Amino acid sequence: MNHRPQHVSQHPLPRPSLIQVILSVLASFFGVQNRQNFERDFKHGKAAHYIVVGLVMTIVLIVVLASLVNLVLRVSGV
């Protein structure tokens, strides 16, 4: 007789790939995440992955914006 616990699934839950995490964070930057991806992220993703990717992308955004401002100031002669 097989006594398998009811809560254990036969198939492991699919975790979002790194590309899917990056795309989800980008979508959240613009507020355009679709429902299917939202549910996948919250059911199968790890919060730490989204936090790390979000922090890295925020730092990249700040560096790019600061560089653009410096470039515009340098070109305009200020």
All residues at 6 or more sequence positions from 54 whose CB lies less than 8 Å from its CB, including other chains = 25, 28
On the question of pLDDT at 6 being above 60, the answer is no
% the chain with pLDDT above 70? 83
Residues 13-48 pLDDT 10s: 588 999 999 999 999 888 898 888 888 888 999 999
Domain ranges across the chain: 18-76
Helix axes 35-44, 18-30, angle to 10 degrees: 130
pLDDT of residue 34: 87
d(CA 23, CA 16): 10
- Give the predicted TM-score (pTM) of the model: 0.71
